[in-house]
Structure 1
């Protein structure tokens, strides 16, 4: 059977390929350390689990409005006011089946065939694919490693064409963990206002920051930028709720209404029980969030210190998320490997450590390591990577 062209255009996920091989090796009895995880290793906090149980016991198991229950929308508007000082109405909020679905639906309602979206690289693997599925064109702009992989206003200006519809800003970033400062966001925002470009602000890692820097949303910098921005966020990373699939988009009422209309014909509504779980996440104390953040900070400090001591591995220390994105080009060349992908494959074969090659994120000289696992496992992984690199020194 002939498949649709839009599906044929999709790029296979390097992350899934590495994950599948790591699982196969584990199934064979090998001691595999997987550092590819894109989710916290903590269970969802108990007060959220309790809220889900109550929802089921109280019969909250039926359809809801396509854009989410009013109570959850209220808690999201309160969260945005509390954390970013932003005022939204419920008409400006859509609850979605994860932040990924918020992005997917946004591109579906926003893009016509050939419309361009500027995507800074390194990028989260699904951005270009979702744009292509909406018949848009991802315009990849490589952000310089010396600038912490952050897009500059000049780069943004040079990438703009008459077909440019939007730009994606992901801060803190997956895969780099880097975060834009207020002044950097303001400079990018001014370019977007000048050229009437929508800003898609992916803020899913906003709660996981390990420096004195404060998370800033571009939408809070001016009334004009507020109007020009669609915020994407959710509970997956902040509250260790990846499997619950609750995200949201906030912004222009016309865009949000179109997204809700589309959701009514795709998902009907996000899972009812998960919505009430997310309501508990947004209305309770963030004590458990802070505990998780402290654990991640300790792991970041330990793993980063170990990695930068390995010959041929270079890595700036990120501000947030739970990833390190070291440049291993020198180690790859000294080891005589064809490229980073081959180096990652050999590391998995020989030392049973699974990393994700940077090629999948638009940065072929790097690898992504997740520190969403125990300190003991991270120490073992660092030992194995160091042994592997030293073994292959030419």
Structure 2
């Protein structure tokens, strides 16, 4: 009955990251000893002050619809957070709280994009960006990157892909899937290009903002005043607060765009979950040092992965400075037979790991970069060590 579906829906594919996670769960339910390193989900319990705020919200009777853009005091707290952590000035009228960062992105795209508009995506990108742009009947324009440049674009590469049809630029820092983090100077250099094209909007995905491991601090591209009116700053609670199932994402944006997102959301889902919003206030108002214990543990796991992956011949990789992913190049295994299977691309390699070592990863094809796979280290050290032992054994 495919011909009954809309052309818009037929134009997109399923999320490959979710599909791999589902496949891993299915095999585990059948009794296979699967180690799932595919999904972007921390294994920590949310902080106690978040859980207590949710319990209090239930007891206090927050059971009903909220304003579409979120409780006013939550939007005030988000403004304070942007000022405290990012040195950004937003008003509550510029904030929209959504059912996860995915809905926040979709609100923005549906507000901005028309048929045949062009959207610039540095590759590798988070896979949903690409599919969401196609859903809006616009064209994803891929900007290549290189591992030896930490998968980051420079101003010259950016400007080369700008045309009179360019409507939007989307990127993440820290980056899913590579773990790369743009420095202040790198973002400043990109901003010099964008200020020449004031009609181009910039969606800056900063949901991994607190998960970085180096001495320099993360920077929001909206900090540069010349392009502030062009920037939508996206964030949420899923990663740093380990609240993936609570589904709270938010944007800070020009007021005209925030109003449009409110309008769309009002016709789609109305408000985000009321109890989760009350808990979000506690999370956002908390001192960033209150979640340092999780970041410290993730850094230990990152360092462990860097040690283990060095022991596997054929993997090339950069050192991730943020997120909880590593994105190794596995193209040295292409055109080789391993356990009777011919490896011709990253899909085949990722499937080999799942079938033969029972370790779930995600093919780089999901992120537009077929030479790599994404490995999540948001699991216990015990599982990480066992997973890499299995991978090493089947490849050797």
Paired with 1:142 and 1:234, the residues of 2 have a C-alpha distance of 27
Paired with 2:51 and 2:221, the residues of 1 have a C-alpha distance of 33
Q: 1:149 aligns with which of 142, 151, 160?
A: 151
C-alpha distance after superposition, 1:136-177 (max 9, x if no partner): 211111211211111221221111111101111210000001
Cα pair 2:58 2:275 within 8 Å, conserved: yes
Q: What is the RMSD computed on CA atoms of the aligned residues?
A: 1.2
- Range with bigger deviation, 42-51 or 67-76: 42-51
- Range with bigger deviation, 40-49 or 359-368: 40-49
Q: Which residue of 2 aligns with 1:326?
A: 328
How far does residue 130 in structure 1 lie from its aligned partner after superposition? 1.1
* Correspondences of 1:164-313 after superposition (within 5 Å): 164-196=166-198, 197-220=200-223, 222-313=224-315
How far does residue 288 in structure 1 lie from its aligned partner after superposition? 4.1
Is there any run of 5+ residues in structure 2 with no aligned partner, and where? none
C-alpha distance after superposition, 1:208-263 (max 9, x if no partner): 0011121000111x211212211000111111111111111102000001111111
Q: Which residue of 1 aligns with 2:385?
A: 379
C-alpha distance after superposition, 1:21-76 (max 9, x if no partner): 32222122111111002111111112111111111111111111100111101110
C-alpha distance after superposition, 1:177-218 (max 9, x if no partner): 101111111111111111221111100000000111210001
| TM-score normalised to structure 2 length | 0.96
* Correspondences of 1:92-131 after superposition (within 5 Å): 92-131=94-133
C-alpha distance after superposition, 1:274-332 (max 9, x if no partner): 10010010112334411100000000000111102210001111110000000111134
How many matched pairs?
Answer: 389
Q: Which residue of 1 aligns with 2:360?
A: 354
2:343 counterpart SS class: coil
Paired with 1:309 and 1:274, the residues of 2 have a C-alpha distance of 43
How far does residue 91 in structure 1 lie from its aligned partner after superposition? 0.9
1:195 counterpart SS class: coil
How far does residue 16 in structure 1 lie from its aligned partner after superposition? 3.0
Paired with 1:143 and 1:151, the residues of 2 have a C-alpha distance of 6
Cα pair 1:96 1:269 within 8 Å, conserved: yes
Cα pair 2:94 2:258 within 8 Å, conserved: yes
